[in-house]
């Protein structure tokens, strides 16, 4: 029953119920403790992204709203008021430990659009490269659907997929996933491990029955997030955010806390699925020379210097097929440049991109992170 033993990149998700400890205001003692734990795992060389709720809770506290308003604009108003407050607290707390943070607000729709997906991914990669801790929340002001608690569970799974995290740690107010609602049924047992292809229906049913209204999405939304994340190659742990040293214990010590879900695919399989799903009859193609074929097969990126021809039309962020000198499809990937730009930089050195276009999205036309060989 060994869990994965080494994590390189993790997404930690904390919900409102953890940040408020079930009360009406943010619990600063809890927050400082979480921040310290995140700094601790980061100091061991693990890249960490934090998906944090609490925007609406902070707004509610500032406006002295005892109840959560029902109307969407009022919730959005509270999120707009509370989000800077939430970030001000995080800034102060991370500064205590010399941690540099960044605010990233996303809507789920952003991640469905390929160009925005690529931009979000590139930004997060840049932040991680510079050792900054991204703190992510849904951009509630422009969320197109009703803000539902639990949305951040789903968002955290999409983030785990976006940056190919190897662990999604969902911190909640229960010890883990149970066979029945533990608040109602004394015989409910903690499920230590879920490894099958599908989450067993009896566990899903028990979770559906346990949703509560107090700032958590309940177990049902944890399970659907876990399902999504494990299909993109991440392991998932659901456990209680108030356990002492919970983050380092799960991530550094691999202690068997809460419920562990095994990943159901490799990152490569999941990336391939995503990239191939974007290839259609009319997708663009990029012709490359023999040297570039060797570079791609060796795990390298596609640089403009290896490009010999551009076929069809595509925009930045679209899936393109990469064709070798004899016309065979060598790889698929997301292009950093539109077809028009790619035509202008084909054959150039990467250092010449900016002079040719007036701007540059990076040295690679297709970065190896966004590419699979066929
Ligand atoms: N984005 C909401 C907030 O910051 C929370 C959504 C959730 O809890 O899933 O208050």
Distance, in Å, from the CA atom of 19 to the CA atom of 32, rounded to the nearest integer, reads 10
pLDDT digits (tens, 9 = 90+) for 240-267: 999 999 999 999 999 999 999 999 988 8
Residue 259 beta carbon below 6 angstroms from any ligand 1 atom: no
Assess contact for 50 and 133: CB atoms under 8 A: yes
Residue 317 CB–ligand 1 contact under 6 Å:
no
Does ligand 1 come within 6 angstroms of the Cβ of 16?
Answer: yes
Binding site membership of 53 for ligand 1 (Cβ less than 6 Å): yes
- Using CA atoms, how far residue 137 sits from 14, 158, 207, in Å, is 10, 12, 24
Question: pLDDT tens digits, residue range 14-59?
Answer: 999 899 998 889 999 999 999 999 999 999 999 999 999 999 999 9
Q: Which atom of ligand 1 is nearest to the CA of 56?
A: 10
CB 138 less than 6 A from any atom of ligand 1: yes
209-213, 221-225, 365-369: which range is least confident on average? 209-213
Indicate if ligand 1 lies below 6 Å from the C-beta of 306. Answer: no
For the Cβ of 15 lying below 6 angstroms from any atom of ligand 1, the answer is: yes
- Tell me the C-alpha distance between 116 and 54, whole Å: 25
Stretch 350-355: mean pLDDT, rounded? 96
Is the pLDDT higher at 108 or at 261? 261
Q: Is 140 close to ligand 1, i.e. is its CB under 6 Å away?
A: yes
CATH number of the 271-373 domain: 2.30.130.10
CA of 156 to the centre of ligand 1 (A): 11
Q: How far is CA 127 from CA 105, 119, 323, in A?
A: 14, 12, 32
Angle of CA points 47, 14, 80, to nearest 5°: 105
Element (H, E) at 269: helix 267-277
Give the pLDDT score at 216: 38
Q: For the ranges 74-78, 91-95, 285-289, which has the lowest average pLDDT?
A: 74-78
Fold of the 9-265 domain? Carbamate kinase (3.40.1160)
CB atoms near residue 114 (< 10 Å): 17
Mean pLDDT of the chain: 90
Q: In terms of Cα–Cα distance, which of 9, 11, 27 is closest to 19? A: 27
Q: Does residue 63 have a pLDDT over 60?
A: yes
Closest-CA residue, ligand 1 atom 6, reads 149
- Residue 340 CA to residue 155 CA, distance in Å, equals 33
Residues in the chain: 374
Question: Would you state the pLDDT for residue 149?
Answer: 58
Q: Where are the domains of the chain?
A: 9-265, 271-373
**How far away, in angstroms, is 32 Cα from ligand 1 center?**
19
- How many CA atoms are closer than 13 Å to the CA of 283, on its beta-carbon side? 22
pLDDT of residue 366: 96
152 lines ligand 1 (CB under 6 A): yes
Which residue CA neighbors atom 7 of ligand 1 most closely? Answer: 149
Ligand 1 atom closest to the CA of 52, numbered from 1: 4
Give tens-digit pLDDT for 307-324: 999 999 999 989 999 999
pTM to 2 decimal places: 0.87
Determine the average pLDDT of the residues in 167-189.
89
Determine the distance separating the centroid of ligand 1 and the alpha carbon of 54, expressed in angstroms: 6
Q: What is the CA radius of gyration of the chain?
A: 22
């Amino acid at each position: 029953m060994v869990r994965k033993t080494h994590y390189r990149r993790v997404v930690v998700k904390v919900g409102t119920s953890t940040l408020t400890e079930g009360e009406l205001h943010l619990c600063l003692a809890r927050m400082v403790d979480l921040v310290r734990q995140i700094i601790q795992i980061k100091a061991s060389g693990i890249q960490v992204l934090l998906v944090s709720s609490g925007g609406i809770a902070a707004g509610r506290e500032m406006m002295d709203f005892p109840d959560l308003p029902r109307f969407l604009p009022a919730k959005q108003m509270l999120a707009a008021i509370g989000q800077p407050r939430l970030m001000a607290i995080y800034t102060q707390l991370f500064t205590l430990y010399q941690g540099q943070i960044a605010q990233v607000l996303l809507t789920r729709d952003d991640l469905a659009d390929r160009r925005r997906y690529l931009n979000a991914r590139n930004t997060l990669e840049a932040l991680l490269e510079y050792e900054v801790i991204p703190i992510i929340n849904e951009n509630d002001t422009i969320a197109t659907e009703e803000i539902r608690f639990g949305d951040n569970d789903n968002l955290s799974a999409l983030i785990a997929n976006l940056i190919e995290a190897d662990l999604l740690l969902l911190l909640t107010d229960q010890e883990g996933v149970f066979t029945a609602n533990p608040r109602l049924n004394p015989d409910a047992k903690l499920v230590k491990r879920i490894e099958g292809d599908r989450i067993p229906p009896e566990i899903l049913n028990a979770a559906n029955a346990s949703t509560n209204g107090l700032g958590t999405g309940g177990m049902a939304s944890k399970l659907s997030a876990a399902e999504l994340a494990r299909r993109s190659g991440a392991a998932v742990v659901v456990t209680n955010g108030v356990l002492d040293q919970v983050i380092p214990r799960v991530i550094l010590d691999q202690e068997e806390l809460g419920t562990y879900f095994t990943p159901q695919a490799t990152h490569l399989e999941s990336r391939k699925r995503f990239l191939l799903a974007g290839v259609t009859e009319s997708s663009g193609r990029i012709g490359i020379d023999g040297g570039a074929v060797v570079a791609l097969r060796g795990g390298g990126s596609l640089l403009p210097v290896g490009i010999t021809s551009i076929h069809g039309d595509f925009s930045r962020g679209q899936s393109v097929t990469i064709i070798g000198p004899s016309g065979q499809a060598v790889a698929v990937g997301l292009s950093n440049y539109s077809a028009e730009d790619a035509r202008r930089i084909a054959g150039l050195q990467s250092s010449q991109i900016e002079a040719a276009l007036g701007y540059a999205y990076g040295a690679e036309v297709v970065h190896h992170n966004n590419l699979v060989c066929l």
